[in-house]
Structure 1
Amino acid sequence: MDFMKKKKTTEKETSENDKEQEIILEKIEERKKSSEGFNRIFSHPLQVLTEKPENILIVSVPVALIVFFAGFIDSTVQYGLRSLITSTFIDDIIFFSIIIALLPYAILDTKEASRRRNIETALPNFFRDVAGMNESGMTLPNAISTVSNGDYGSLTPYVKKMNNEISWNIPFIDAIFRFGERLGTPLAKRSVDLIAKASLAGGNVSEVLKAAANDSYEFVNLAAERRNNMMIYVVIVIVSFLVFMFVIAIMAGTFLSTMADAGAAVASSGTEVASAGTFGGSIDMDLYKRIFTHASMIQGFFSGLVAGQMGEGRAAAGLKYSLIMLATAWVAFRFFI
């Protein structure tokens, strides 16, 4: 009887353990599904929107379109379709829609570019330190564990995470590949791929690490030199926009207003000369100011993209300049010119 009771108790405990394991496995599967594919948007919306700069456009562009169409409908309902031609309200709606759509992306892109620059700057020192530890007789996992206590700026959290993965018995090759994927820069992926293949081939990994360090150092130096050399052209683009704005301000504030006043005075004199010289009186200052506003905003936006392409090799990097110059033109014509 005691044997039968013990057997039933054992079977009961086994059944309970199996149920617990099934529950744990189900939770792991649910967590895996929630962190993959489209489900990530619902489980981690903020993380998904900020992990890549372009992801924020999923929210910012629809919001901008809602603002634009709401303003468009409100303007046409209250003032009619003619207001789209005669009023600057629609211009303001377009301006704010562009700002809403692109400002979050420009901020995140600038932040991401800064992160990548800091990581690439720290990579040569990291590779050199690992190479030095490896030459002293340490294995690569032990070398990673030792250097993870160092300070590599923005790279430090990634090094610590790779060390944690290695300490959890994840193979060094898999850990370093994940390290490269998380960094997300072409330089890091290239260097990591080189180190992983050398480690698999069983060659002199310390020499490969030194080569990767030198390659990273040269890449970072060349990128910094390019930015410094091209900065003068970025300044030229910005100064050209400011000169363009200044010329338009002078034309709108002095020349055209003077011509309009003189034409109006001649037209009101009622003489024959007036009939031959009333061209100045026909100047519509509001129309000209609106045309100048459009010209300045278009000039500023596309000049910023050119500045980004010349300065950093990416037109998207110039969005910060574009939005600043766009806002400058809008403020200048709305409140000062």
Structure 2
Amino acid sequence: MGFSDIFSNLLNKGPHSREPIRTDELGPVEDEFAEITKKLEHERQSREGVGKFLRHPFQVLTERPENILIVCIPLSLLVFIGGFLFMVRTYGMGVLFDSTSVDDFAVFAVLIAIIPVALLDLREQVRVKNLENALPNFFRDLAGMNDSGMTLPTAVHLVAGAEYGTLTPHIRKLDNEMSWGVNFVEALYRFGRGLGTTLADRSVDLIAKASRAGGDVSEVLRAAAKDTFEVVNLQNERSNNMLIYVIIVLVSFAVFLFVIAILVSSFLSTMATAGAAAAAAGAHGFMGKIDLFVYKRLFSHAAMLQGFFSGLVAGQMGEGRFIAGLKYSAIMLLIAWITFRFFI
């Protein structure tokens, strides 16, 4: 006998029935309820936290740029520690002072840690920008169709046939949910959660509350379109105004690198040669011996550190988020490393 049969029998043996409910009949029902509750709890755990990561690791790692650090940081530490131990075991502790191999492993470890984050953040910002650029047109078209006498489901259905770039799949999903009987407010909230942007959340919340209050939805849609259009314009204007400062940061790093390259290749090389010649001639008081390798290594560390932190500053100034500067940090760190390892 299945759960439905047992439950039907229990309903038939209610307080108005002459036949009482036996205790042995409650056991299977309680066990069935416990089993259902256990399955629901297991399903809930698999949709969040560690359970979600175990079921969909790639989705969890890529849904937010910083999540990829779960893999990148251990991998970068493994590369650095493994390289460090290998070099020390092969060449002894002197490799720390006589070679730049350990420095190279440190650079590789940093690049492994930040490049995936930078790429995912860049992809996310492109996605958000494309969505937010299309939102004003979507809201404006909905308002115009609603003004013409169409109901909101009909207007959404017609708009879903148009092309709004990366916003189009979300609009069609909204149309499908409303065609399946989901009310406009609930479908709109799901639409906003699917977009996953701050601007979309604010606009959706405004439209949903106006629709629940029974106001003029067309006016609210038009106001939301105007608001999103102005916010996008302000963001673009800020980005354009701050671009010059980002360029200044990048040019400053290039000038710093150029000055160090000239200093090492001309002045320090000449001084090292002169010092070696003076020492060979016995004129020890003329000048001390100049270790060119130490100076090169010191300047390479300075250039790499400046490149990394200058990139973070450029991201904070240009986009208001230091994580957005990781792409600049990775590029400048790589340029500094290549310059000192192959050209200086």
TM-score, normalised by the number of residues in structure 2: 0.87
1:170 aligns with: 182
1:323 to 310, 319, 330: 330
Instruction: Map 1:283-294; keep pairs closer than 5 Å.
Output: 283-294=290-301
Can you give the 5+ residue segments of structure 2 that lack an aligned partner in the other structure? 9-32
Cα distance in 2 for partners of 1:311, 1:244 equals 21
What is aligned with 1:40?
A: 52
1:191 maps to amino acid: S
Report what 1:277 is aligned to: 286
SS of equivalent to 2:315: helix
Q: What pairs with 1:10-89 in structure 2 (closer than 5 Å)?
A: 33-89=45-101
Give the count of matched residue pairs.
Answer: 321
Residue 298 (structure 1) aligned with residue 305 (structure 2): yes
**What's 1:115 paired with?**
127
2: distance between equivalents of 1:240 and 1:58? 33
Which amino acid is the alignment partner of residue 302 of structure 1?
Answer: F
Aligned to 1:238: 250
2:317 is aligned, of 310, 317, 334, to: 310
| Structure 1 residue 37, shift from structure 2 partner | 3.2
8 Å CA contact 1:303–1:322 kept in 2: the answer is yes
Percent of pairs with identical residues: 58
Report the Cα distance in structure 2 between the residues aligned to 1:27 and 1:154, rounded to whole angstroms. 37
1:220 matched to which residue of 2? 232
The CA distance in 2 between the partners of 1:202 and 1:159, in whole Å, is: 23
Runs of 4+ in structure 1 deviating by more than 6 angstroms, as ranges, are 22-30
Between 24-33 and 247-256, the greater mean CA deviation after superposition? 24-33
Which is worse superposed, 169-178 or 311-320?
169-178
Quote the Cα distance in structure 1 between the aligned partners of 2:325 and 2:75.
Answer: 22
| 1:151-210 alpha-carbon deviations (Å, 9 max, x no partner) | 111111111111111122122111111111121111111100000000000000100110
**Could you say which structure has the higher helix fraction?**
1
Deviation at 1:32, TM superposition (A): 5.4
Aligned-partner Cα distance in 2 for 1:33–1:172: 29
Deviation at 1:101, TM superposition (A): 0.8
Mapped partners of 1:119, 1:54: distance in 2: 21
For 1:277, give the aligned amino acid. Answer: F
1:153 aligns with 2:160: no
Contact 1:264 1:278 (C-alpha < 8 Å) held by counterparts: no
Contact 1:130 1:147 in 2 (8 A): yes
Q: Does 1:253 align with 2:265?
A: yes
Deviation (angstroms), 1:149: 1.1
Shift of 1:327: 0.1
In 2, the alpha carbon distance for the partners of 1:33 and 1:186 equals 27
What is the rounded CA distance, in whole Å, between the counterparts of 1:65 and 1:276 in structure 2? Answer: 47
For residues 38-78 of structure 1, the C-alpha deviation after alignment (integer angstroms, 9 at most, x for no partner) is 21212211111111111111111111111111112212222
RMSD: 2.4
DSSP 3-state at the match of 1:203: coil
Moved more, 197-206 or 149-158: 149-158
The offset of 1:26, in angstroms, is: 9.4
Q: Deviations over 1:119-141 (max 9, x none)?
A: 11101000001111111111222
Distance 1:161 1:129 in 2: 17
2-structure distance, mates of 1:37, 1:171: 30
Look up the match of 1:335: 342
Matching residue's letter, 1:336 = F
- What amino acid maps onto 2:324 in structure 1? A
Q: Classify the secondary structure of the residue corresponding to 1:276.
A: coil
Distance of 2:165 and 2:40 partners within structure 1:
34
- Residues 191, 307 of structure 1: CA spacing in aligned structure 2 closer, same or farther, 3 A cutoff? same
SS of residue in 1 equivalent to 2:68: helix
Deviation of the 1:30 alpha carbon: 6.2
Letter in 2 for 1:176: L
Following superposition, the deviation at residue 80 of structure 1 comes to: 2.8
Aligned to 1:6: none
Long gaps (5+) in structure 1: 1-10
